[in-house]
Each structure stands twice: as structure tokens, then as C-alpha cells.
Structure 1
């Protein structure tokens, strides 16, 4: 075969084909290669009296009564404060979208940039209160000209916290400085987990959060007189009985120090930062290397006490072959080393899975899932124990001392050990949680 023939044959094998549209008579449509394209589908057409819009524009931030006003009239509303502050505050956002800067708005209306920001943010906070069904009879408290400064201080809280903080501000007739202190204490409270006395205060109580902030300030005070003043301020706002008892105890000690009397060390506060049960961190391969292991049923913290009681119990064990029989079927199981305290009560042992270890009533090194191994055979509460109880359908861990103070005599189960997940280059037992 000639070289030319080889090239022609090779080229023919690598030709690419394209679709050619043919008319009814079989002739190609279009005059050349560029015309051989698929037909173009035009976009949908709108009715003659409407414009076609491929998307819906965002809703206007302006109240209905301001939408028909021109620019001069809107500026006049802001300049003369025509209406309540939360009614004309959206005008500032609308002007910013139209290209106005804070300085140009200030020049046209006399409202400073700082006040503009306060009005816009406060109106957003007020809207969040409306979405949380804040009582209508309480909203007028923020309608005065000082309302924006009060609501502005709640900007860093979530919607539920804003609701609670707003009610507290009304109940105590707080000024902006007081609302700022309240909001900061509520924001800071979860971060103080593990501090002395923290567990006695309730996170969902604005008064307790504020009282704990003042409680901490009393401990940081250099002069005893200053500490007493802060504790007195804490007693003015504390809401729960446990928190009040903790503040009163601190007050008693502070007064003894002021009188020159000897005060015993606060062993209770130190113990609050440590668990009364073993807290272990599993090591990689520990279960595989264990001489004996235990297979325990697992329930989630959201399953409640009913699921905890319903979890299967061991009925028979064949040690030689490692066979275990239980009284009912179950879907979630955990394999843990055969620790002595757990093996002794294996027939009643159960595992509670907690999504966040910070919910435990002592200091936790970090946010992580943990397993709480508990004994359902011991439910009578004693002060030096740690127990699993049901609170509004959720399983939580509480100290026996706290449950006894609340009059709780029986729990769902007694905690035997807390298991933390494996972690690289970490000790099995945390120094912060164990002596």
C-alpha cells in the first residue's frame, strides 16, 4: 500500500461525525457547516402586560407606609424622627442599599453613624423577639427613644437568650449599662464550665448567669469589702435555690474574713471540678488487647428513662465459648474492656451515649462524645454518688448531692464509669478530672 493510501485509510478511521438536520424532503437544513446546529429554544415569554423576570427580587425592607415615599420624603422622616424608632430604622438600611454611606446619611438627617448602626441592629433584635412570640404587652417598654440602646446590647445572644434577657431587663428596669452586663454574663457563662461554684448556677436563668458573673468578681476582688459588695449584688438577682445557697455560703465566708476569723478551705468547690467516678480515655487497640470484654446495650441520651429500663439484660453467659444471652432483641451495643466494677454488675449494666461531654457535672477537657456506663440495679440516691436521671425526656448525669437537695430519692441508674474516645498522644486518665 502506498504511503498516501495508508494516510487516507488511517484518516478515515479517525473521522468524527456530527448530526446533520434534514428537512421534509431529505435535504440538509442550512447552507453550510456553521448552520448545522440544533434549533435554539427561546426563553419563556411573559404575558404582554408583564415583564419576564427569571428570578424574584428580595422583598423590600421598608414598611408599607414608606414604600410610596420619594427620597426627599424618606430623608425627612429620618431627619424629623417621624414615628417610632423601629418604624423608621429600616429607612437607613434602604438608603445604604441605594448607595448612601453613613456619613452622607448623617449629613442629610443629622443621625450619626454610631446611632445609625444602633438603630438598625436594635430593629433586628426587636424583630427576633417578635419571632419568639415575645408578649405584646411588654414590647412597648422598648418603644421609647432609649429602647434601641437597650436592645442593641442583646445583639450577641441567640434568639432564646434575647427573649429571656429582654424580660429580665424589663423586670429589673435595667439601663443600657445593666443590659450590657447581663448579656455579657449570659454569653460568658457556658465558657466558665469548671470554675468554682459553676455547677450551682443554671444556664437558662438570666439572673443566675448575672449572679455567677458577680460571684466570680467577688472571688477576684483584692479587698474583702469589695467581695462582700459583689456578693450582695449577686443576691439581688440570683433566681434558683441552689445558686442562692452557693452565694450565701460565699457571703458567710467573706464576712468571716472581714471579721478576721479563720475560714476553712472550700473543699466542696474544689470537688465540683472533679468527678466522683473513674473517667477513662480508651486507647487505640485497648479493646482488642483486653483479656475479657463486655458487650453492653447502648441507649441515646434523648431516649429517656423508659428506653434505659427497657434495654436488654443479660440472662446467661458461657465463659468458655464467650456466648451471651439476653432477654430481648436490641440494635445498639458497645464493646468495652471487662473492668472489674462493670463486670460485677454486667447483668444490669447499660451504656448511655452523650453527644457532648460538657454536659457532665464536672470539668471536661474538650467537647466530645462520651459513654456513661451505669448500673440499673442501684437507683437509690446517696449524696456521694453520681446518677443518671430523666429530665424532660432526656437522660442527664447529676451528682447525688444535688439530687438530694432537690428531694430526688430515686434515679434511673447509678454511674459506674465514664468512657472517653481514643485520642492521639493523650493519657488514659485526664489530669484535670482525676487525682
Structure 2
């Protein structure tokens, strides 16, 4: 690094023994050029000057990542993939030639892409040398891994050649989010129905999403182990979400084309019959509430720090859903409250409590309020697509069942939430408590799923 040094001292201030004899006619010129001179400061690896010197001249320095001399620096290391024996004896130029000329089946030369990545090649450099784009590289590598999982899952060997054609990678690539057993079932279904990549994508998404839909109307009629039933249920759901009756009928017809079990087929046919009556202008009496409609009770999602920022909070006893109605009735009740100091007295000792904001409907009946903890919110009597714990705040002071209410009742030793209309039809006149609101847990704002960029 170069820096400007200070001017030399005046010759008169230098001791005589250190002065050099110079001609008189050069003194003025040398003094004129002596006012500004340059010098070099060598910095060591840690940024400090070599050979002494002021340390306040050190510049901020971040050394680049280092690697052994015989290796290139690689910021990303893909997972190791075994290289076929036929390619291990080939040099770099020959391996690139195999990829460039597509010598062999796609799943045979796909491991070469991972091997080149481990040697320091990037997707762009591989594309420049072989002509295979980054997107296709990713597709080949992932599809080969899916194919290997089929082999390990004892997929029939005589069916594997179906995916050996040039379009095989696109089909297998869509199965990447399924487990090994689901991949085998989906691959067989794709072969039997001659699905294209778009159809395989729809099939894989329906199989992945089916377990999360537990609690939706009609879910019990479909079979999870059947790829056709999973796809039919996805189309069944889309028919119930369609606005135009023509779109509803079209989705149900598509569901009937792929449904496999008899119970699922009967459920789709029953829905088709209702849809056709509505299309013809006939009045249809479903005889059951629409599960897609929201209840009359508030469903709120808690926010991080909401309790700390609330002006008033409530301390409520918590009962698990497995405790039963007896535990719900025996949960402590508030007997005295000191508003000024925030002190609360209850009539008995309890171990589980929940601190919630002082919501108006709950604060009005705080003496009889209790919290029921449900392990899975999808069992609520309305559509809920997320698997998460929820807190049901209920009022034990109101137990008489009316059609417009939502109630906590006991079924087979467990506390469940049911609509008043359903309980009235069942002949139930009294519940364990009336639901005031449902609180869902906090959720991160950014829930995007990241993916690797290959192109």
C-alpha cells in the first residue's frame, strides 16, 4: 500500500554528523522535491505493517476462503452420488463427451453431472461444455435419485424401462416430494394411465396433500393408499370450491375418471347427483350443514408478543382433550379478583394455565371460562387445512344446546367440538360448555419454501 509520508526536516535541524555534503546549486532543487515523497508500507497476512511502523494505518482486510492447493474452492458441495463403473476410467474430456453426445441412457450418465459438480464445475460451465441447461441438469440428477429409490423399493424390474425414454426424467422428477412407497405407487399409476408430466405433478401433489385434509367433508370415504383416490379427492374438493355449477360438475366428472375404491366412488356419485339437480334448477336439501362455512365463533391467530402488549390479560385453566368432560367441570373457577394489583384467587389447585389477551367475550364470563387444548385443529367441525394445535376457549356457564351455537362435548372419552345443529339432530340437549372463540398458535410471516437455483 502506498501512502504519503511527512516532509523531511529542515537541514538546519539535522546534526552535523548526519549531514551530506551536496553542491550549493542543487540544494534548492532538492529541498523543493523533498517536501512530498512516497513510501511503501507492506502489510502482513493479519493486516499489520511488516517491519514496524504505525499500526493505525491498518486497513480492514478479509482474506478469501482458502482450500488445499490441489483443490478448487467450492461454495456448494452436492450430495455424493456413486459413479457407474463404466465411467470411472474416463478422463475429464471423455466424461464431458459422454454428456455432450448423450452416450447411453439418461439415468446412466446423469451421475456424471454430480461428479463434475464435486470437481468444481458449476451448472453454467457444464452447460457451456455439454449443451445441457441448468434446469435439465437438475431434472436429470433428481430423476436418477427417484429412479434409484424405485429400485430399492422392489419396483418391478420389467416396468422400469417405461421411464428409460427421453421423457422419463420429466415424469420421475415430479415424484421428488413423495416418500419411497408413494413414489412406487404413483409411478405405477402414471404408467397405467399414460400420464404426462403435468398429470404426474397433479397426482403427486394430491398424494402429498391428502393426509393434511383429514377432517374435511368426505375425507373418510377415500383411501390414502390409493393414488387414484387421492387424486379423486383433490378434484372432489375443487368441485366444492367452484363458483359456477358447470365447473363443479366438470371436476366431479374428472374425479369419477380416476377414483378406485367403491366407497369413494359412491361419495363422488352422491355429490354429482346433487350438482346435477342444482344445474337443473331443482331444490336440493343436503340435510347437513355446509362444512366449508365458517362458524359463528371468532377464530383468531395469536401474534408473538401479543400477550405482553395487551392492556389486560386473563389467566385461564387448561384441559386436554383426553381429560374428558369430568375434568372440564372440575377445572378451577375464579372466586376473587384484585383489579388494581392483578391478583386472582381460584377455588382449587391446578397445574396447567393459559395466559391470553383480555378478549371482550371471554372477559365477560371469566369466572366460568376454561381452555380446551386440541392436538390437531383439523378435527374442528369446519374446514381447516393446517395441522396445528389450537386452544378452544369455552364458557361452562352455558350448556344448553341450540342450533346456532358451537359446543364442547365428550365422545368416547375425548373432548370434541360440535355444531349445535348436529347435536340437536342427535338428540343432545346439554353440552359440557359453549365455545366462545378458537385461538390458533403464532405463525412466522415468511413461510416460503426455498429451492436450489440451477439456471
Which TM-score band applies after superposition, normalised by the shorter structure? 0.5 to 0.7
Residue number in structure 1 paired with 2:322 = 305
**Residues 334 and 366, structure 2, Cα contact 8 Å, conserved in 1:** no
1:210 and 2:244 matched: no
In structure 2, C-alpha distance between the alignment counterparts of 1:243 and 1:92, rounded to whole Å: 44
Residue number in structure 2 paired with 1:90 = 111
**Residues 149 and 176, structure 1, Cα contact 8 Å, conserved in 2:** no
- Secondary structure of the residue aligned to 1:154 is coil
Stretches of structure 1 lacking an aligned partner (at least 5 in a row): 1-31, 36-49, 424-435
**Residues 122 and 148, structure 1, Cα contact 8 Å, conserved in 2:** yes
In structure 2, C-alpha distance between the alignment counterparts of 1:253 and 1:419, rounded to whole Å: 32
- How do 1:97-136 and structure 2 match up within 5 A? 97-98=120-121, 100-102=125-127, 104-106=129-131, 116-126=137-147, 129=149, 135-136=153-154
Residue number in structure 2 paired with 1:41 = none
1:234 and 2:252 matched: no
Q: CA deviation at 1:255?
A: 3.4
1:343-395 CA distances to partner (integer Å, 9 max, x unpaired)?
Answer: 6855xx443166x867755357999985212589999x99986558899xxx9
1:351 and 2:368 matched: no
1:201 and 2:219 matched: yes
Residue number in structure 1 paired with 2:276 = 255
Number of equivalences: 343
**Residues 214 and 233, structure 1, Cα contact 8 Å, conserved in 2:** yes
In structure 1, C-alpha distance between the alignment counterparts of 2:136 and 2:321, rounded to whole Å: 49
Stretches of structure 2 lacking an aligned partner (at least 5 in a row): 1-49, 54-67, 339-343, 443-455
1:61-86 CA distances to partner (integer Å, 9 max, x unpaired)?
Answer: 4425233322354356554644x643
Residue number in structure 1 paired with 2:26 = none
In structure 2, C-alpha distance between the alignment counterparts of 1:171 and 1:278, rounded to whole Å: 43
1:239-274 CA distances to partner (integer Å, 9 max, x unpaired)?
Answer: 78886565233210233356x451337685745321
TM-score normalized by the length of structure 2: 0.52
In structure 2, C-alpha distance between the alignment counterparts of 1:34 and 1:377, rounded to whole Å: 84
**Residues 103 and 113, structure 1, Cα contact 8 Å, conserved in 2:** no
Larger radius of gyration between Structure 1 and Structure 2: 2
1:6-45 CA distances to partner (integer Å, 9 max, x unpaired)?
Answer: xxxxxxxxxxxxxxxxxxxxxxxxxx9859xxxxxxxxxx
- Secondary structure of the residue aligned to 1:148 is helix
Distance 1:422 1:233, change over 3 A: closer
Q: CA deviation at 1:417?
A: 2.7
TM-score normalized by the length of structure 1: 0.53
Residue number in structure 2 paired with 1:416 = 435
Q: What RMSD, in angstroms, separates the aligned Cα atoms of the two structures?
A: 6.1
In structure 1, C-alpha distance between the alignment counterparts of 2:158 and 2:415, rounded to whole Å: 39
Q: 2:292 aligns with which of 269, 272, 289?
A: 272
In structure 1, C-alpha distance between the alignment counterparts of 2:335 and 2:216, rounded to whole Å: 47
In structure 1, C-alpha distance between the alignment counterparts of 2:184 and 2:432, rounded to whole Å: 39
1:372 and 2:389 matched: no
